[in-house]
Amino acid sequence: MNARQIEIFDRVMAEGSISAAARSLNVSQPSVSLSIKHLEGQLGYALFRRLRGRLQPTPEAVALAQHTAELTATLQRIGRLARNLKGRTEAEITLGVVPALSFRLLPNTLRSFLQNHPGVKVRANSITYQGAAEAITRREVDMALLFAPPDLADTTREIIGQCGLALISEGQTVNALRNLGDHDLISISDSGPVGSFVDRSLADLEIFLKSRVSVENYYQAASLVRHGFGLAIVDQETAVAFDAPITRELPDLGSIDIGIIYRSDHHHQTMLQDFAFAAKQAWRL
């Protein structure tokens, strides 16, 4: 398989038809069909079959696509890197950002950064804390904006600021932190560093909570609070973004770092530093 065959195969898988793939690639339909036919001949098995007039991938094609899609993404990143290294004034950076920081911090940062870098394109992808380190190491993203940024080998870490926590509820009153145990709390323990930080802080204060509902992230928790499923302790960015009914801020639980990480050998080092500076300025707004 060569790179062009992989590109055409992935496009057919994504579009679901030869004609749609041809339009997407801006080539003729016969050329796409011929490429797939040659690829099937090389591999020795069929990749697609016609079923009731529709193109259906074979099990072999589905298994193959799990790997070729990743390779295609890598080739696209290499292409962007090659274009950037030609010395063009236009460049592109890919940012990974956890959802909670996409509501206010990301747009305010982009507004300032893009004004000062009119020739730069920014691709913002959603990312989890758990996946950030691998994405940076494998160069799937150029930088990551997240809570409690890890200190990794061969990376630069810049702290943007500190984010507090808030207790949100819908129609329930909590007079003191020690009374939290009397209420149902929506658990977010497995969400990453913020959830772990909340659990440790509550344990230090000897506050033990009961939970009947557990979610993966804070905007899910905020939505469930709105629908009366209980209370939730969330980061203040999520609370403000969702216009959540904040019962009280929780300074006793402390605050958690927000920061950016990027590879120390990145070829756009200065640009990434500028983005971090813009984020610090935006956080102060």
Alpha carbon separation from 46 to 38, 39, 42, 71, 283 (Å, rounded):
11, 9, 10, 21, 54
* Mean pLDDT of the chain, nearest integer: 84
pLDDT at 282 over 70: yes
Q: Looking at per-residue confidence, does 115 or 217 come out higher?
A: 115
| 7 within domain boundaries | yes
User: 264: domain range?
Assistant: 91-155+258-283
What mean pLDDT do residues 223-233 have? 84
Q: Which of 46-60, 96-110, 159-173, 255-269 has the lowest mean pLDDT?
A: 159-173
| Percentage with pLDDT > 70 across the chain | 91
- Tell me: the pLDDT tens digits for 177-195? 777 767 778 887 666 788 7
Same domain, 120 and 79: no
- Tell me: the pLDDT tens digits for 50-101? 888 788 999 999 999 888 887 877 777 777 666 655 554 558 899 999 988 9
In whole angstroms, what is the distance from residue 143 CA to residue 163 CA? 20
- Tell me: the pLDDT tens digits for 121-167? 999 999 988 888 888 988 889 999 999 998 888 899 999 999 988 88
| 125 within domain boundaries | yes
Last residue of a domain, one of 40, 56, 84: 84
| 160 within domain boundaries | no
We report the CATH number of the domain holding residue 219 as 3.40.190.10
Last residue of a domain, one of 66, 84, 102: 84
In whole angstroms, what is the distance from residue 117 CA to residue 270 CA? 12
Q: Would you say 141 and 95 are in contact if contact means Cβ atoms under 8 Å apart?
A: yes
Give the pLDDT confidence score for residue 101 in this predicted structure. Answer: 93
| Extended strands (E) in 67-192 | 91-97, 120-126, 143-147, 155-163, 165-168
Give the pLDDT confidence score for residue 119 in this predicted structure. Answer: 83
Pair type for strands 143-147 and 256-263: antiparallel
What mean pLDDT do residues 11-17 have? 89
Same domain, 249 and 262: no
Last residue of a domain, one of 84, 113, 142: 84
Nearest Cα to 166, choosing from 106, 258, 243, 98?
243
Number of domains in the chain: 3
